[in-house]
Chains A and B, each alone.
Chain A
Amino acid sequence: MEPSAPLAIRVPAPRDVGATSTIIEIEDFNFSYGAKQALFDVNLKLDARRVTAFIGPSGCGKTTLLRCLNRMNDLIDGTVINGGRIRIHGVDINGPEVDAIELRKRVGMVFQKSNPFPKSIYENVIYGLRIQGVGSKSRLDEIVEKSLRGAALWDEVKDRLHESGVGLSGGQQQRLCIARAIAVQPEVILMDEPCSALDPIATAKVEELIHDLKKDYTIIIVTHSMQQAARVSDKTAFFYLGRLVEYDDTQTIFMNPANPQTEAYVSGRFG
């Protein structure tokens, strides 16, 4: 995929139409930071092994919803779910018998700003396995190679696996974080503006990677770049002021949106 087409929104190519199955169901979901409500009655069904993009103006709640999917918001004081539920494979992830730690092993996350640990590349990749108690050297070696290849980073770092991960370039760091996330073999990978700090070439690499990862993972990506959403996603959800405005095939959202707000946003008239 070429990194160009900087100005016009390229019409997405028709997607392969395989059978899709729903993996995540969000029903009437409401969420507040203390007294401030950030999400209102969100209803959304996300497909397995597809890329879904969340778009919308700043502050509309994209990150909030994304972080609800692996309960990262539990770590913030005073957050409340005031209505609705999120199910993954039919299981309510906020249910009393759900362990957030187990959930996060199934639902990985890549952050906006790349955040490798101040450890070697090797240790960064296997961190998730180490904490699960995997000790076998040969198995770890194997996973490191597989994950780095999966994140299209292997060739660039294979000779310096034991150097610090912090010494990589921004784009390499972000791919290292993706490798770290896929090393624990999650089912879902959440990406919050993964390319916002990257140059066009690094962005193209990550987008290509997302395209490849789709075969094995369900990917949800938050982005501010219309082009990126158009290039990488199968479906797109448009949010505005904490509400889901429109959710449809990416092609439909960009070419033929039902809602005038969506139309205005994707054509760049506000946002």
Chain B
Amino acid sequence: MEGINAKYVSQKISKTRWRLVSHSSLQQPDIFATGSWDNEVNKISFWSIGNHGGSDMDDGFEGDPQLLCEYKHDGDVLDLQFLDQERIVTTSSTGAVTIFRHHQNSQTISVSHCWPRAHRYPCDNAPCTGVVCSSPEIVTVGEDGKIIVFRADQEGVIRVIENADSSTIHAVTYLRTTEILTVNSIGQLKLWDFRQQSDAPSQILSLSGDRVPLHCVDRHPNQQHIVATGGQDGMLCVWDVRQGSTPFSLMEAHSAEMWEVHFHPTNPDHLFTCSEDGSLLHWETSTHTDMPSFLQGGRNNSMVSRSAMAPAGGNQSLISAWLSGDSSKGRLETTHMLPSQTLSVNSLDVLGQCLVCGTDGEAIFVNRQVPV
């Protein structure tokens, strides 16, 4: 496994995220942020892997992440997202939602804004489990079953959906600009449309059979109806939210909870998952022919999907390779990305050709040559 090394950082990493790079430039990402958990004093940190080729590394390997700056964080960092080039939003086990600003010149961090008990119970703290943002809007979800919408520049909350869920909401992602998807601990995928005034989900999807809690969700970057989720039993499910209330395909991915699933943002034939069982998998799907999938519209694909449902509507919509995913047919390749078994891999992020992940073994792995 070339190009992947462990950096031990003396803190269990709960989240890692690459800083966004502008799409116009073809630069590889160079800075990522991490959040820790289960420490007496938790921290958020910014690291650089020096892709700009500026400073030369005196010690360590080329690409060994260097700590730029760090800041104390109250409570476990349960989720972390970049709001823009300089600011990150974090959610805490104390129920707080905080915006931190990274000052690049002085390499310091300051708190830009904080909503201290955004998620709470009447007499207790409720951990805030997930956040997604599309600047300046921020949406958070928590163990109290609430969905809260903030704006980065405003004090109060914009909207609260109380009792959105009777169980814990584990993750949230945008489906469209006004629609979000949440997953909860009774195995349901819920669609919420913010244009509607009512506090009810516009759609509920779930697996028939056991109500296995779902922990992570991600939307296909180009085809907005395709969503992947991962759950407690380590199964990777790919759903088509336009039709049916059950997933299109189910794949056995891991032997323990799957913590994160990510489509590659620019090359969505690649998917990455990480799990409590200490492995990080790279899924690569390929269509039957060598033609890229977007050119196949109009042809009757010979692949039969598991549920054998023809897509609705007269026009043959693009059948994504994911929806026909069937690992037994050998069209789905999976590779382990980490050299050996570690403790739980809690988080991963992939951008361009760079992959970063953090583990409970207090190590960060960076791979700069992901084959996508």
A in complex with B: no
